[in-house]
Structure 1
Amino acid sequence: MIILLFFVAHWYLSLFMQTFFLHRYAAHQMFTMSKGWEKFFYILTWLFQGSSYLSPYAYGVMHRLHHTYADTDKDPHSPKYSTGMFDMMWKTKNIYNDILHGRIELDPKYKKNVPYWGFIEKMGDNWFSRVAWGTAYTLFYVYFATHWWMFLLLPIHYLMGPVHGAIINWFAHKYGYVNFVVNDTAKNLLPVDFLMFGESYHNNHHKLGGRANFGVKWHEFDPAYPIILFFNAFHIIKLKRNNDLNYM
């Protein structure tokens, strides 16, 4: 039971930072926050994502490229231009690293207002940090696991961030339903998103790229949105009024 609780906690805490801080804030600027709160959420991203830490800067830039070039040969992660999910993940990793280390030229609009804190960026991307987190997960399992099959969950802990990305970038471009006609294959993967913290409403998001609430129909509950409203009410963030427009 302890192992399953740990897995669920890591899944949703990591996922929340990815959808709230990396996606809705870094990439789309759906709300603003002070530099102090930005650093606070930077630290939480490193703590909750651990060994699979994703740079808010590189993620934000790469995701903007995805929206501009969705399902074209310039898309950082399109199933149409990959032989399989793992091939797509490998291509995504390479483009992500090229952005992170400044190996490709980018139009300044893709970098505009994307957060960057060099200390956490370098620490989170450091292999010592990644191995240390992975070792901590493994030791936790060694101490608390009661069945051999529980250890099969460990690789997901190691790669939690990329796993979350692959679920949406692969499956939500191949399976699901659509509410809106868009110029790509984005679909809503789940009618009730119990798994991906609102991210599975991918068709909605591609149509309304700046909208903080990813749910549109009555049954499409976005679990991240009430938390965003809570943060807004307590002035941790400030939601932008014109919230239905794309980031550009």
Structure 2
Amino acid sequence: MTVILCFFFAHWFLSLFFHTFFLHRYASHQMYTTGTKREKLFYFLTWFTQGSSFLIPRAYAVMHRMHHVFSDTEKDPHSPHFFKDVWHMMIHTRLMYNNFLTGKSLPDPEFTEEYLPVWEKLDKFGDHMVTRIAWVAVYTSIYIAFAPSAWWFLLLPVHILIGPVQGAIVNWCGHKYGYSNFDNGDHSKNSEPFGIFLLGELFQNNHHKFGKSPNFAKKWFELDPTYQIMRFMNFTRIIRLKKA
């Protein structure tokens, strides 16, 4: 049981960290700069931690930029206010994501003008069905070896879909439940105190007000764990935070 719990929480928080640190705060918003080699390292670690649910950064970034411009309108790729449940929202988001990747639909130029990280070889490898199935086999093998009972296998779908699951929680809860510090003209909320489990991502109301700020916490009682890590990385010159 200890091994499974350690594996689950390690996978959850490592995947979540690179989700918010690289996909969100770098690919989507360019909140910091870094060297070419470090960018590729962060890119690789995003793939490695998301595994079977790897989200290609350029597609993620385009959709997230659209989310900010069209927040909680019919053009928003994932507003919970236009779907009867979270599953329909996730399916709609995935279809739009796939259309951008395949070229079936093209985003407006305003969403691709700012820098988008691209690593075509890793994207092709990470997005390949064989690679995704291999990750599923790895997760399943760990559970076969260490799960104390069959009930623990109910956690496997979370591992397999960890990126989309985390994104769905943020977009659903962060635009439906919680409090607002600012009037942004949308339904964005700060879903605290549960945000600690999403490493700052549930400060949606704050983030929609200050879209370029790397610190999602704005009140004295709010804490953005990812920003604190980024401050340390800035201090050690691994990254350079931009002034919002």
TM-score (norm 2): 0.97
For 1:105 and 1:151, the matched residues in 2 are separated by: 39
Amino acid paired to 1:37:
R
Match of 2:16 in 1: 15
Match of 1:121 in 2: 123
Contact 1:30 1:210 in 2 (8 A): yes
Match of 1:201 in 2: 203
Cα deviation for residue 108 of structure 1 reads 2.3
Cα deviation for residue 6 of structure 1 reads 0.4
Cα deviation for residue 83 of structure 1 reads 1.9
Where 2:196 maps in the other structure, the secondary structure is coil
Match of 1:49 in 2: 50
Please give the residue correspondences for 1:26-105 in structure 2 after superposition, counting only pairs within 5 Å. 26-105=27-106
Where 2:195 maps in the other structure, the secondary structure is coil
Amino acid paired to 2:187:
T
Question: Is there any run of 5+ residues in structure 2 with no aligned partner, and where?
Answer: none
Moved more, 86-95 or 170-179: 170-179
Q: 1:89-136 CA deviation, whole Å, 9 max, x = no partner?
A: 000000111112222222323112011110111111111111000110
For 2:145 and 2:35, the matched residues in 1 are separated by: 40
For 1:98 and 1:29, the matched residues in 2 are separated by: 24
For 2:221 and 2:143, the matched residues in 1 are separated by: 37
CA RMSD of aligned residues (A): 1.0
For 2:228 and 2:47, the matched residues in 1 are separated by: 23
- Shift >4 Å, 4+ stretches: none
For 1:145 and 1:102, the matched residues in 2 are separated by: 42
Cα deviation for residue 73 of structure 1 reads 1.0
Please give the residue correspondences for 1:66-215 in structure 2 after superposition, counting only pairs within 5 Å. 66-111=67-112, 112-191=114-193, 193-215=195-217
For 1:54 and 1:106, the matched residues in 2 are separated by: 17
Contact 1:193 1:220 in 2 (8 A): no
- Equivalenced residue count is 242
Q: 1:63-83 CA deviation, whole Å, 9 max, x = no partner?
A: 000000111111100112112
Match of 1:219 in 2: 221
Where 2:185 maps in the other structure, the secondary structure is coil
Cα deviation for residue 191 of structure 1 reads 3.2
Contact 1:197 1:223 in 2 (8 A): yes
For 1:109 and 1:236, the matched residues in 2 are separated by: 29
Match of 1:246 in 2: none
Cα deviation for residue 192 of structure 1 reads 5.6
Q: Percent identity?
A: 51
Where 1:103 maps in the other structure, the secondary structure is coil
Change in CA separation of 1:192 and 1:139 when aligned onto 2, cut-off 3 Å: closer
For 1:117 and 1:51, the matched residues in 2 are separated by: 18
Moved more, 186-195 or 205-214: 186-195
TM-score (norm 1): 0.95
For 1:235 and 1:195, the matched residues in 2 are separated by: 27
Cα deviation for residue 43 of structure 1 reads 0.6
Question: Is there any run of 5+ residues in structure 1 with no aligned partner, and where?
Answer: 244-248
